Every structure is written in structure tokens, then in C-alpha cells.
Structure 1
Amino acid sequence: MKFNHTEEIAQYTPHWQGERFANGRPKVPSDILRRMKKITIEEAWGPLWNRGYTFQFEGDFKIIHPQQVMVGRAVTAVMVPKRPDLHDALLRYGHEQEGRKGFFNQWVIDELEEDDVVVVDLFDKIFKGTYVGGNLSTAISTRTKRGGAVIWGGIRDNQQIVEIDNINVFYRGSDPTAIEDVTMVGMNTPTRIGRAICLPGDVVLATPSGVIFIPPHLAELVVVQAEKSQVRDIFGFVRLRDLTYSTAQIDSAWPVALWEDFLHWFGSAAEAQEYHHLNWDEELAEARRLGDQGSQAGVRL
């Protein structure tokens, strides 16, 4: 086997048509990552669930910075319990054939780039399952700038890691022991994190609610749908406060007149300025289509 294999990564992610890193990992644009940081788990979850991606969320973590949202591109690793023959063969292969140094967890962190998040299946091992401590977390901070780690296993040196404020770490537990008796059988391969599956290049959205892994080809759609929901909610609150519409009108499909009111507000309201990159042609066209169908039905009656 090869670690971090370009052809395999491309095979895992065939729907991504955008830029890739040199190893084939999808490179979702930085602007999408920036915008993703402002949405909630629930807003991201809906578009994925409705498209059949029902195993993308896991919420059972401890968090180094509980109120700090983390967003980045996944770099994945799969660890298994140590079996000596397999362990020795893979460690030797990495050292001799791929020129890697140190232990398996160091290999993964050496691959990190800006805005990356390490996503590790350590089979929920905490005692002798501490994937990072103070040193490797510092390396993550230096390499990713604002990324971090999601570890289905343990960490150590919590008091040191909590002082690193530009990254976050989601983990299962902590222990003073060093990592031992584990073998990496995959780097940038499909990775299971609790109930969820993560692929290399997925956008990791990690909040106090938990972690959701967003396929790269759906990242922009997720962000746009979330932003549209947010700004429509803002408009709805404004119009409910001034008694223009009832809650039933705001919560139902909007007719053309309500859409036109929204678009007038959208173009001038200060609260909507950060959403001005959004386009509403499709929604307005659909409202007009439904309105025309209703009129034609009325004529037939």
C-alpha cells in the first residue's frame, strides 16, 4: 500500500471538479471556508440529509475551546490496534520507501497545509491513544494557521493545548500516556468518526454542537442555502415586528408580492449587506411560475 496516494484520493472524490492539492485532495476555496464559519450545524445538516448524506454528523466530543468554531479541509488518518507484522511492515515502508520520519501520527501532521483539519479514527482509544500533545498541537497551529484536529481517541498535555488559541481540538478523552500499540493503515482514505464518515478534502465544520463533514462538491451549495435561510429569517423578523405579515405568511411559500417586498428590503437594508453576493432569480421565477399556475387553475374553475 501507499500512504497519501494521489490516484486513490481522486478515486474517492470523483464529484469534485475544482482545484486539488498536489496529492489529489480537493481544495475547496478559502472564501467558502470563511463563509462556512458563520453557519450552524443544523443549516449544514439539512442540504446533506436531503441528498442522502445521512452519516455526516457526530456530536460526542470534548472540546479544547468549547465556544470556538473550527472550519477546514480534512486530512484523514485511520489507526488500528498494533499487530506486530503489519506494524513493522508499514512503519518500515514509510521510512524506507516514502522517506517519512518519526511515528505514524507525525507523518500526517507533516502533510498539513493552511486551513487543514486532522481527522483521525483512533478507534476510541484513550489510554496509550493520545494522538497529539503540546508539541504536535503546536505543529498543527503553525502549519494550518486556523485549523485543528478531530480525534476519535485521546490527547495529552491539555493544559498546553488550551493555550494555543488559533486552533481547536475535538477529542474523546485525555490521558498522560504517550501513544503506543497503534498502527496507521490509511492516510487520506475514508475515515469513520463515530457515526460519521469523512473523506479527504471534506469541509469540517466543528461547533459546540459537534462536527459535520461536508463533501467538497456540496460545500458551496450548503453555504449558499444556509446564507439564504439566514437573511430570509432576518427579513421575516423585521416584518413580523412591524406587523406587516403573519407568521403563517412568513413560514409559507412566498407569493410574488412578498418576494418583491423582500428584494426591495434586501437591496437597501444594512442587515442584508453581507449577503449581497446571493442571487434570487431562481426563487422569484419559481414564485411567478406557481402564481401563474394558480391563476390558470382559477380560470379553469
Structure 2
Amino acid sequence: MKFDNPEDIVQLTPHWEGERFANGRPKVPDDILRRLRNITLEEAWGALWHRGYHFQFEGDFKIIHPDRVMVGRAVTAVMVPKRPDLHDTLLKYGHEQEGRKGFFNQWVIDTLVEDDVVVVDLFDKIHMGTYVGGNLSTAIASRTKRGGAVIWGGIRDNQQVVRIDNINVFYRGSDPTAIADVTMVGMNVPTRIGKAVCLPGDIVLGTPAGVIFIPPHLAEPTVVQAEKSQVRDIFGFIRLKEGVYTTAQIDAAWDKALWDDFANWFATDEAAANYRHLSWENELTEARRQKRDGSPSDVRL
């Protein structure tokens, strides 16, 4: 076996057709990451749930900075309890064949780049299961700039970690002990975090409610759907305050007249300025078709 094997990563992520890192990990564009920082967890969840991705969210965490949103590309690792023969074989292989330094958790952190998030299945181990402390959290912050870690296990040095501004850490518990009696059996492989599944290159969206893992090929559709939902809500709130429509009209499938009103507002109102990269051609075409058929548009976002 190899750690962080490009051929395996490409095989695991065949739906991604964009740029990749040297190790094969999908590289979702920076602009998509920027836009994802402005959506809610529920908006991302809905876009994935309706596409059949039902195991992407986990909420049972403690959070170093619970008021901050974290977005980044996943670098995954899987740990298991220490079995001496397996442990010695893999540690020796990493040191001698792949030139890695230190312990398993350091191998992962040494590979991080800007906007990465470490995602680690540490089998919910907290005592002697502290994946990072002050030093390694500082290294994560330095390498990722605004990333962090999602750890299904423990951390230590909380009082130091909480003072690191440009990092967030989602974790299960704290303990003063150092990491011990664990072995890494996979790096950038499928990883289970509670009831969620994360693959290398997934976009990690960490919020006060928990963490959701967005497959890279669905990152852009997810953010587009979320942004469309947001700007429709802005329009709806304005029109409701003006008394133009009832809540039943806004919440139901829109007819062509309402879509036309929205399209004109979207093109001219300053409140829609940040959303004008969005295209509504499919929705407007469907509204026109439905009008010809004599029924309201059933396009929903």
C-alpha cells in the first residue's frame, strides 16, 4: 500500500473533471470556496440530500471557534488502534520508502496547502487520541491560512489553540495526554466521520451546527442553488413588506407574472447586485412553457 497515492485518489473521484493537485486530489476553484463561505449549512444540505447524498452531515462536535464558518478542501486520514506488527510495518514504510518524518499525524499536516482542512477518523478516541495540540494547530494555521481540522477524536492544549485566529477545529473531546497507540492505515482515502462520509478533495463546510462534506463535482451546483435560494428570499421579503404578494404566492410555485417581476427586479435592484453572476434562463424558459400549458411553473430552488 501507499499513502496519499495519486492513482487511488483519481480512481475514487471520477466525477471530478476539473483541476487536480499533484497527488490527484480535486482542486475546486478558489472562487467557489469564497462563495460557499456565504451559504448556510441547510442550503448545502438540501442541495445534496435531493441528489441522494444522505450521509454528508455530522453535528456532534465541540468547536474551537463556534461563531466562525470554516470552508476548505479535505485532506483525509484514517486511524485504527495500534496493532504492533501493522504499526511497525507502516511507520517504517512511511519513513524509509516515502521519506516522511515524525509520527502519522505529522505526515498529514506536512502535506497541507492553502485552504485545506484535515479530516481525521480517530475512531472517537480522546484519551491518548489527541490528534493536534498547540504546535500542530499552529502548523495547520500557517499552511492553510484559513483552514482547520475535523477530528473524530481528541485534541489537547485547548487554551493555546483557541488563541489561534485563522483556524477552526471541530473535535469530539479534550485530554491532556499526547497521541499514542494509534496507527494510520490510510491517507487521502474514504473517511467516516460519525455518520458522514468524506473523500479527499470534498469541500468541508463547518458551521455552528456542524460539518457537511460536499463532493467536489457538486460544489458549484450546490453554491448556485444556495445563492438562488438566497436572492429569491431577498426578493420575497421585499415584496411581502410592500404588500405586493401574499406568503402563499411567494411560497408556492411561481407563475410567469411573478417570474417576470422577479427578473426585472433582479436586473435593476441594488439588493440583487451581488448575485448577478447567476443565470435564470432555465427557470424563465420553464415558466413560459408552463404558461402555454395553462399551469404555474413548478421550478423550485
TM tier, shorter chain? over 0.9
Alignment deviations for residues 158-185 of structure 1 (CA, whole Å, 9 cap, x no partner): 0110011111000000000000000000
What pairs with 1:165-180 in structure 2 (closer than 5 Å)?
165-180=165-180
Question: In 2, distance between residues paired with 1:272 and 1:134?
Answer: 43
Structure 2: state its 5+ residue gaps.
296-301
TM-aligned CA deviation for residue 50 of structure 1: 0.9
Structural RMSD (CA): 0.6
TM-aligned CA deviation for residue 31 of structure 1: 0.4
Moved more, 185-194 or 247-256: 247-256
Percent of pairs identical after alignment? 78
Partner secondary structure for residue 131 of structure 1: strand
In the alignment, is residue 256 of structure 1 matched against residue 256 of structure 2?
yes
Question: In 2, distance between residues paired with 1:164 and 1:260?
Answer: 49
TM-aligned CA deviation for residue 216 of structure 1: 0.2
TM-aligned CA deviation for residue 291 of structure 1: 0.8
Letter in 2 for 1:126: I
Aligned to 1:118: 118
Partner secondary structure for residue 205 of structure 2: strand
Question: In 1, distance between residues paired with 2:83 and 2:187?
Answer: 18
Partner secondary structure for residue 223 of structure 1: helix
What pairs with 1:1-301 in structure 2 (closer than 5 Å)?
1-294=1-294
TM-aligned CA deviation for residue 51 of structure 1: 1.0
TM-aligned CA deviation for residue 269 of structure 1: 1.5
Partner secondary structure for residue 294 of structure 2: helix
TM-aligned CA deviation for residue 267 of structure 1: 1.4
Name segments (4+ residues, structure 1) moved above 3 Å: none
Question: In 1, distance between residues paired with 2:203 and 2:161?
Answer: 23
Question: In 1, distance between residues paired with 2:286 and 2:253?
Answer: 10
Letter in 2 for 1:89: T
Question: In 1, distance between residues paired with 2:168 and 2:55?
Answer: 23
Question: In 2, distance between residues paired with 1:129 and 1:281?
Answer: 52
Question: In 2, distance between residues paired with 1:56 and 1:121?
Answer: 14
Question: In 1, distance between residues paired with 2:265 and 2:26?
Answer: 37
TM-aligned CA deviation for residue 294 of structure 1: 1.1
Letter in 1 for 2:119: V
TM-aligned CA deviation for residue 245 of structure 1: 0.5
Question: In 1, distance between residues paired with 2:149 and 2:167?
Answer: 8
TM-aligned CA deviation for residue 252 of structure 1: 1.1
Aligned to 1:299: none
Moved more, 252-261 or 58-67: 252-261
TM-aligned CA deviation for residue 264 of structure 1: 1.1
The count of corresponding residues between Structure 1 and Structure 2 is: 295
Structure 1: state its 5+ residue gaps.
296-301
TM-aligned CA deviation for residue 109 of structure 1: 0.2
Question: In 2, distance between residues paired with 1:207 and 1:185?
Answer: 29
